């Protein structure tokens, strides 16, 4: 435990005029109040408040906040009272301690109705004095650092709460280093295998490539010296959770991830910051679409920096952040920079946000909001960045995936509005339909009765719902032309196999592909929504088997020894088109895993079992089973439409089970037989477009590693 004099020394380092007597008195009082109490680890309980205070000295915070950290559990867990803390210290400190106590008692991970009310209380506490949440974040950080002493189920609960609430809140307040550490500590509890896998692959990468960070940092310093720019350059590998999240978002393996290193360049002034950007772009190639200027357009929490991503001759990408020293202080401590001290005086940082204005802007939209769902939606708008939440002109919230455009927004409102869209206004300004929407923007769609969907919209839309509606409208609008073209394509395809595209054959194909009639079949063929090959296969499946004889299942994987068999691992259910790796199984051939499978981490050291494999080129039969989990509305005909959509995607349902049944929704698990990864994407996109499908995800479970997957 840090001694009282050492804690004072930490404060004196940035605030020589600190009230040492006040901190020593609080230290002594807290130790006496917690005397005899122990933590789960067996340590004296007072080690925790002292550690929290030490964390806050890293933010260079004022004396009142440091004292609050030392006393933050006294009113809740000891015989201490609010009036006694007021008398011994001050009303300001007593209010801060009481505020932290109230936050501690909130169950932020409870049911949605209660969660909304607790969020409301949290923002109310923050609005009175933001230092309350600073102490609470430091409290949570130390608890996460020492979480191993808790029971496993308690660890998971606290880690999930940290990942869902406290880490995003720290990020929203601009405290990036604290957010990253909270995320990584929670990640260690929630997915230890995934985290270990990332770390091991990092070690392997360093052995293969050497010290990339030192090499690039030296190159950057050399280029800046040539240009006469005085600056500090720092490099680091990104945190395991940050890498894992990027792998999940992009659905790629570690080896395909390029920008896993980040570099910061701290300049003397703003002019040098922009000059540095020029030097970096002259020396390294800028990656299009990866440049952001937060100096000219700062974030609401005061964050200012230039972001760019560049790639070298070896194709490796690195992210570079450029900012001044004062901007860097705000980037590290966010809103907390308002209370920072330097040389015994409050640090006057022109970029630090006024906490009163920041919290007022954050809570303004919540005041008077009675509807729990709307309140939680508003909270998520402010705290989460994986989704985009936009407002209608009437103030309703529309949730869209990141990267969505006004066209996606229009179709999210209603298909009729999307189809009639001729333009959009974002925050009152006319913008192109391909504009990427951002959190909190107000969007107004301009429509015209004569408008119809255009073919170019398919390149603009990003959501499955919008794309499906656009294709349907285009098919209907050009049906006569597409039917004529489809008939010619069918004739040529059938004749190529020595067959004739008779009406009876086409009717059978339409039935097999679950289309209402031959005209729909031909229209879809003419619009390239189905291929001529699929139509022929629907009538003559044996013909397709003969044609695909070179990629029968036992020859689907390349890289096996002669006579060596394989089975798809049930934990990740890899598909053709995905990168794979083999694990030799004693007496059972080879187990084939996706390259990013979580269960591979435990085999990292068994290099003699690893095999470099890849899928055979060509068309694979639809026999590879993938498990999907869906939440669907409990309404008449919904399950039937789900089955129809899967069938229309040329996929077969091999098994289905109900996981959960509720009055308003079902949770189901469906096994679908597919050709490859592209086929999976088609199925998921079709299902996501169905309004009664609330969520859909591919099931991957490391615990199933030793069970063979179907379709292998």
Question: Could you read off the pLDDT of 261-301 as tens digits, one per residue?
Answer: 889 999 999 999 999 999 999 998 888 877 888 888 777 66
Q: Are residues 30 and 112 in the same domain?
A: yes
Can you tell me the distance from the alpha carbon of 611 to that of 592, in angstroms, rounded to the nearest whole number? 9
What pLDDT was estimated at residue 380? 52
Helix axes 63-71, 20-33, angle to 10 degrees: 10
What pLDDT was estimated at residue 549? 44
Identify the residue with better confidence: 250 or 547: 250
Q: Are residues 181 and 204 in the same domain?
A: no
Q: Are residues 412 and 536 in the same domain?
A: no
Can you tell me the distance from the alpha carbon of 605 to that of 196, in angstroms, rounded to the nearest whole number? 12
Q: Are residues 327 and 423 in the same domain?
A: no
Identify the residue with better confidence: 365 or 447: 447
* DSSP label of 560: P
Q: Are residues 318 and 417 in the same domain?
A: no
Domain end residue (candidates: 346, 370, 402): 346
| DSSP line for 364-395 | TTTTT---HHHHHHHHHHHH--SEEEEE-TTS
* Of 610, 576, 606, 605, nearest in space to 591 by CA: 610
What pLDDT was estimated at residue 353? 60
What pLDDT was estimated at residue 548? 44
Q: Are residues 334 and 205 in the same domain?
A: yes
Is 99 inside a domain boundary? yes
Neighbours of 33 (CB within 10 A): 21
Instruction: Give mean pLDDT, residues 129-148.
Output: 89
Is 379 inside a domain boundary? no
Q: Are residues 30 and 166 in the same domain?
A: yes
User: Domains in the chain: how many in total?
Assistant: 5
Q: How many residues does the chain have?
A: 712
What pLDDT was estimated at residue 266? 94
Q: Are residues 182 and 207 in the same domain?
A: no
Chain-wide mean pLDDT for the chain? 81
Answer whether residue 545 shows pLDDT above 50.
no
Q: Are residues 50 and 77 in the same domain?
A: yes
CATH of the domain at 16: 1.10.3210.10
Q: Are residues 186 and 200 in the same domain?
A: no
Q: Are residues 52 and 177 in the same domain?
A: yes
Is 538 inside a domain boundary? yes
- Kindly indicate the confidence band of residue 349, based on its pLDDT and cuts at 50, 70 and 90: low
- Kindly indicate the confidence band of residue 419, based on its pLDDT and cuts at 50, 70 and 90: very high
Is 605 inside a domain boundary? no
Is 616 inside a domain boundary? no
- Catalytic residue check, 537: no
SS3 state of residue 689: coil
Can you tell me the distance from the alpha carbon of 421 to that of 412, in angstroms, rounded to the nearest whole number? 12
What pLDDT was estimated at residue 542? 65
Is 631 inside a domain boundary? yes
- Kindly indicate the confidence band of residue 90, based on its pLDDT and cuts at 50, 70 and 90: very high
- Kindly indicate the confidence band of residue 425, based on its pLDDT and cuts at 50, 70 and 90: very high
What pLDDT was estimated at residue 633? 83
Answer whether residue 684 shows pLDDT above 50.
yes
What pLDDT was estimated at residue 30? 93
What pLDDT was estimated at residue 118? 56
Domain end residue (candidates: 494, 529, 547): 547
CATH of the domain at 651: 3.30.70.260
Q: Which member of 76, 92, 488, 629 is catalytic? A: 76
Is 503 inside a domain boundary? yes
pLDDT, one tens digit per residue, over 474-525 is: 877 777 877 887 888 888 778 777 788 898 889 988 888 878 889 888 888 8
- Kindly indicate the confidence band of residue 107, based on its pLDDT and cuts at 50, 70 and 90: low
Neighbours of 662 (CB within 10 A): 9
High-pLDDT (> 70) share of the chain, %? 83
Neighbours of 655 (CB within 10 A): 12
Instruction: Give mean pLDDT, residues 81-93.
Output: 92
Is 376 inside a domain boundary? no
- Kindly indicate the confidence band of residue 69, based on its pLDDT and cuts at 50, 70 and 90: very high
| DSSP line for 589-658 | EEEEEETT-GGGGGGTT-GGGEEE-EEPSSPPPS-EEEEEEEEEE--TTHHHHHHHHHHHTT-EEEEEEE
Q: Which member of 20, 58, 77, 701 is catalytic? A: 77
Answer whether residue 16 shows pLDDT above 50.
yes
Q: Are residues 44 and 167 in the same domain?
A: yes
Least confident of 17-26, 331-340, 417-426: 331-340
pLDDT, one tens digit per residue, over 623-680 is: 899 999 998 887 777 888 888 888 777 888 888 888 887 777 888 899 898 888 888 8
- Catalytic residue check, 371: no
What pLDDT was estimated at residue 469? 84
Dihedral sign from CA coordinates of 681, 686, 690, 692:
negative
Give Cα separations from 375 to 162, 327, 371 (angstroms). 20, 32, 6
* Domain that includes residue 124, residue range: 4-190
- Kindly indicate the confidence band of residue 111, based on its pLDDT and cuts at 50, 70 and 90: very low
CATH of the domain at 304: 3.30.460.10
Strand pairing report for 580-585 and 652-661: unpaired
What pLDDT was estimated at residue 478? 74
What pLDDT was estimated at residue 124? 63
Domain end residue (candidates: 190, 209, 244): 190
What pLDDT was estimated at residue 387? 61
């Amino acid at each position: 435990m840090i001694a009282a004099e050492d804690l004072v020394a930490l404060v004196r380092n940035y605030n020589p005029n600190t009230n040492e007597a006040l901190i020593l008195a609080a230290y002594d009082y807290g130790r006496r109040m917690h005397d005899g109490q122990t933590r789960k680890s067996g340590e004296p309980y007072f080690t925790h408040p002292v550690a929290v205070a030490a964390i806050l000295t890293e933010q260079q915070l004022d004396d009142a906040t440091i004292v609050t950290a030392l006393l933050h559990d006294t009113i809740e867990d000891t015989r201490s009272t609010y009036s006694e803390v007021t008398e011994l210290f001050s009303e300001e400190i007593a209010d801060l301690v009481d505020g932290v106590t109230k936050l501690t008692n909130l169950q932020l991970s409870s049911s949605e109705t209660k969660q909304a009310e607790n969020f409301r209380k949290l923002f109310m506490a923050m609005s009175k004095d933001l230092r309350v949440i600073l102490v609470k974040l430091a409290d949570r950080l130390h608890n996460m650092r020492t979480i191993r002493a808790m029971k496993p189920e308690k660890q998971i609960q606290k880690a999930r709460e940290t990942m869902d609430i406290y880490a995003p809140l720290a990020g929203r307040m601009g405290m990036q280093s604290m957010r990253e550490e909270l995320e990584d500590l929670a990640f260690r509890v929630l997915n230890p295998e995934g985290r270990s896998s990332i770390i091991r692959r990092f070690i392997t990468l360093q052995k293969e490539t050497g010290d990339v960070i030192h090499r690039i940092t030296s190159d950057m310093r050399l280029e800046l010296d040539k240009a006469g720019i005085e600056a500090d350059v720092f490099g680091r590998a990104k945190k395991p959770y940050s890498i894992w999240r990027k792998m999940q978002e992009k659905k790629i393996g570690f080896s395909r991830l390029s920008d896993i290193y980040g570099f910061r360049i701290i300049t003397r002034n703003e002019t040098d910051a922009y000059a540095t950007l020029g030097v970096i772009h002259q020396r390294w190639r800028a990656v299009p679409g990866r440049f952001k200027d937060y100096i000219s357009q700062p974030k609401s929490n005061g964050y200012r920096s230039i972001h760019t991503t560049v790639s070298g001759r070896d194709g490796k990408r690195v992210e570079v952040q450029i900012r001044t020293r004062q901007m860097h202080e705000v980037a590290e401590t966010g809103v907390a920079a308002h209370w920072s001290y330097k040389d015994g005086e409050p640090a006057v940082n022109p970029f630090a946000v006024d906490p009163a204005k920041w919290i007022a802007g954050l809570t303004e939209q919540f005041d008077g909001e009675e509807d729990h769902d709307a309140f939680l939606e508003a909270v998520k708008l402010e705290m989460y960045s994986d989704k985009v939440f936009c407002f209608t002109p009437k103030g309703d919230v529309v949730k869209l995936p990141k990267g969505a455009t006004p066209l996606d927004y229009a179709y999210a409102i209603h298909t009729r509005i999307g189809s009639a869209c001729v333009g959009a206004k974002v925050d009152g300004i006319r913008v192109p339909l391909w504009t990427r929407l951002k959190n909190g923007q107000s969007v107004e769609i301009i429509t015209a009765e004569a408008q119809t969907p255009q073919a170019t919209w398919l390149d603009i839309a990003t959501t499955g719902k919008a794309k499906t509606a656009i294709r349907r409208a285009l098919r209907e609008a050009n049906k006569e032309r597409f039917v004529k073209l489809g008939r010619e394509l069918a004739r040529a395809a059938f004749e190529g196999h020595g067959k004739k595209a008779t009406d009876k054959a086409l009717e059978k194909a339409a039935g097999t592909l679950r289309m209402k009639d031959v005209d729909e079949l031909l229209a879809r063929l003419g619009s390239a929504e189905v291929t001529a090959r699929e139509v022929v296969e629907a009538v003559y499946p044996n013909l397709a088997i003969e044609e695909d004889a070179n990629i029968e299942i036992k020859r689907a994987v390349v890289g096996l020894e002669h006579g060596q068999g394989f089975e798809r691992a049930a934990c990740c259910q890899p598909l053709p088109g995905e990168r794979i790796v083999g694990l030799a199984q004693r007496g059972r051939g080879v187990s084939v895993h996706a390259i990013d499978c979580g269960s591979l981490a435990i085999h990292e050291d068994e290099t003699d079992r690893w095999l470099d494999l890849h899928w055979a080129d060509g068309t694979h039969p639809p026999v590879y089973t993938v498990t999907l989990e869906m939440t669907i509305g409990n309404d008449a005909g919904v399950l039937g439409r789900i089955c129809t959509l899967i069938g229309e995607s040329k996929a077969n349902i091999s098994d289905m089970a109900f996981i959960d049944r509720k009055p308003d929704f079902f949770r189901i698990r469906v096994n679908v037989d597919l050709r490859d990864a592209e086929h999976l994407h088609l199925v998921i996109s079709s299902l996501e477009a169905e309004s009664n499908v609330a969520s859909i995800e591919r099931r991957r479970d490391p615990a199933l590693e030793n069970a063979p997957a179907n379709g292998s």
